[in-house]
Amino acid sequence: MLKKAFKNRADQRTTELIDKKIAPQQSLIDQARQADPQAAAQQQTKLNAFRTKALKQAQTTYTWQTRKDLPGFSAYGESSDRIAAIANVFPVFFFLIAALITFTTITRMVEEARSEIGTFKALGYTKWEISRNYYYYAISAGVIGALLGAIIGNETLPRIVLALYKQYIALDWVVGLQWIVILIALIFALIATLGAAIIVIRKELVEGPAALMRPKSPKSAKKILLERIKPLWNHLSFNSKVSYRNLFRFKSRMFMTIIGIAGGTALILTGFGIQNSIAASGNRQYSEIFDYQAVVKLNQSADFTKVKNVLNNNDQYQNSTAINSSTAKLIKGKNQVNDVNIYTPKSVQNFAKYVHLGFNLNKKQVVLSKKIAQLLDVKTGDSIRLTMTDGKKTKLKVSAISQNFIGHFVYLSPEMYQQKFGKSPKANTLLLHLKEQTKSQRKKLANQLLKSGAVMGTSYTHDVLSTVSKMSSSLKPIVLIFILLSGVLSFVVLYNLTNINVSERIRELSTIKVLGFYNNEVTMYIVRENIILTIVGIVVGYGVGNLLTAYILNQAATEQVIFPLTISWFGYLVATLLMIVFTAIVMLVTHKKLQHIDMIGALKSNE
């Protein structure tokens, strides 16, 4: 609507300004018309000619901006997109691991009630009468857990995240209940609880009362693949051999433990990876690709002598290179990319010291940055259309694609610029190498360059890096929340499965204790398996964490920014140490529990 309303406004405004400028002369002509009509007519002709010429040369232009052009609005929108990408993935992983725990717990609960189920069946109760109590329990657990989780989660996590962005939100926010999401969570919760109960109950009720009232026969040990590697197997201790056999004896628990540990490790790594990768986009852009500290934009009629005098008198200045810089839009088919920076160096050799493309700009070469190639879906050898801000259009053939993380850039060789635009590229920008500066020194140099009258403005890479750093820091609390939740979830998985392991093998553990195993040996009989599974889970978690981080970064990438997959060694260290600590805590708890085993009660026959 606004564009339509202002369609002719530029011409009208130009006319108004010209008429205002010539109004004094027009008044003088009008006054002289009565005294000397002929002279006034001549002056009027000259004034009309001047007006016509001025209208052709001068042209008012309007710049259109939307909310997306505001830095604060764009930053808030991009942060929202990143959080949305995280929110679309993390809950799924959390829910899968939580469902794993729930399914295992319900399964174990039903299996422990075998004798009770057998008794009810022997007394004549129908299958439905026996099973409905377990169904009611599972439904209650699923519904209560889902509703509590929905209410607590809805009232805490969103408010914490919104509080981090209070600088963008002036008004009080409203957090409403997401009923569709709650319904989905409830359905999956019931699948995990009620589904597990249905599967196990139906399996148990197939057996007769006598079989149900007797203890379930323990799984028999089988030869494992490791035993076939004789040199390795023969060098293992007896306890180690038992542990490896037991790992494959209880395959379902082995896979559940590995999945639980791997999931927790992956989530923790992903939390660190998101933060590290966002910071890496700026750090790598201004270390691996751009090797300059400031960009100085010159006036159209810039006096290089004035600029050089200011720079040479500055203690932080080292050297510079001149380029032609302009902006344009690129089109390939139905795809379009706006606000593309076109860089054409005056000296290709000097330019290579400031911008590292990985190769030199050869004659008649056109290089696109990676994000443009992705958005336009072009590759080397394809042709694209370029439209400059002044309306000039040309067609370019892509010679190469360069790595880039922030912004859109097209690099033209001087020969290609000459061929496409019919003139040599005029230097209008300087890339500067500067020593390390303080904030006041940067401000002072920018003011001196501006006062020279030859410079339109100066921008520093330090400011860009500072913005990226703030963007990364704003995610720290969110990352911390997910790390804590992931850690707690992993601990619950390990603790729950270890408890089930001990409960199912209580007769076996009591037997080896009666045979003379010391308390530490009995504990290690169980814990050794946890240690092996934790190590495997951590290693698997490294791979899953990298894949998950890469997926989220791909979803969170903006039109201007590519986030390179980066996970610091500190992230791996924290994830590994947390899993080791959880294993150690579970080992201590298990050790205390095994010290007080009722061996006689455990070994008593139920028959």
pLDDT score of 285: 87
The residues that bridge with 317 in the sheet, in sequence order, are 434
Taking residues 568-580, report their average pLDDT.
91
- pLDDT, residue 542, reads 94
For the chain, the average pLDDT equals 80
State residue 57's pLDDT score: 63
Torsion over CA of 257, 260, 266 and 272, rounded to 10 degrees?
-120
CA–CA gap between residue 401 and residue 403 (Å, rounded) = 7
Q: What angle do CA 581, 582, 588 make, to 5 degrees?
A: 90
State both tokens at 470: 């703030």
**Residue 81 in this model has a pLDDT that exceeds 70:** no
Read off φ and ψ for residue 280, nearest 5 degrees. Answer: -70, -25
Q: Which pair of tokens denotes residue 187?
A: 């359905």
If phi > 0 it is left, if psi is from -120 to 50 it is alpha, else beta; for residue 364 that is: left
Q: Which residues contact 223 (CB under 8 A, 6 or more apart)?
A: none
Q: What is the mean pLDDT of residues 249-261?
A: 79
Which token pair is 107?
């399964």
Q: How far apart are the C-alpha atoms of 325 and 343, rounded to whole Å? A: 5
Query: Which comes out higher in pLDDT, residue 65 or 122?
Result: 122
**Mean pLDDT along residues 214-229:** 70
In this predicted structure, what is the pLDDT of residue 211? 77
Q: What is the average pLDDT across 205-209?
A: 81
Q: pTM for the whole thing?
A: 0.73
- Over residues 362-418, the pLDDT tens digits come to 776 888 988 888 888 888 888 888 888 777 888 888 888 888 888 889 999 888 888
- SS3 for 571? helix
180, amino acid identity? I
**pLDDT greater than 80 at residue 286:** yes
Name residue, tokens 């405004």.
13
Residue 3 has pLDDT above 70, yes or no: no
pLDDT in tens, 138-156: 888 888 988 888 888 877 7
Handedness of CA 335, 381, 550, 409 (dihedral sign): negative
Measured over the CA atoms of residue 227, residue 228, residue 231 and residue 232, the dihedral's sign is negative
The H or E element containing residue 254 is: helix 251-284
| Side-chain half-sphere CA neighbours of 54 within 13 A | 16
- Residue 44 and residue 64: Cα distance in Å, rounded? 38
The whole-number average pLDDT for the span 333-350 is 86
Range from 46-50, 530-534, 568-572, 587-591 carrying the lowest mean pLDDT: 46-50
Specify the long-range contacts of residues 242-250, CB closer than 8 Å, at least 24 apart: 242/525, 243/525, 243/528, 243/529, 243/532, 244/532, 245/221, 246/221, 246/529, 247/529, 247/532, 247/533, 248/222, 248/224, 249/219, 249/220, 249/221, 249/222, 250/219, 250/501, 250/504
What confidence tier does 169 reach under pLDDT thresholds 50, 70, 90? low
What are the CA-CA distances from residue 478 to residues 82, 272, 564, 584 (Å)?
Answer: 11, 10, 20, 27
If one compares 602 and 548, the residue with the highest pLDDT of the two is 548
- Cβ-contact 486, 268 below 8 angstroms: yes
What is the widest separation between alpha-carbon atoms in the chain?
136
Domain boundaries, the chain: 2-57, 84-283+472-603, 287-464
- Mean pLDDT score, 272-279: 86
| pLDDT value, residue 604 | 63
> Which has more confidence, 119 or 470?
119
Q: Cα separation of 201 and 119, whole Å?
A: 14
* pLDDT beyond 60 at 323: yes
What's the pLDDT at 573? 93
The stretch 155-176 carries a mean pLDDT of 67
Distance CA 147, CA 100 (A): 19
Is the per-residue pLDDT at 164 higher than 80? no
User: What pLDDT is stored for residue 171 in this prediction?
Assistant: 54
pLDDT confidence tier of residue 606, bands split at 50, 70 and 90: low
* 21 has pLDDT over 90: no
Whether residue 157 is predicted with pLDDT greater than 80 in this model: the reply is no
The amino acid at residue 463 is: D
Q: How many helices (H) and strands (E) does the chain have?
A: 22, 10
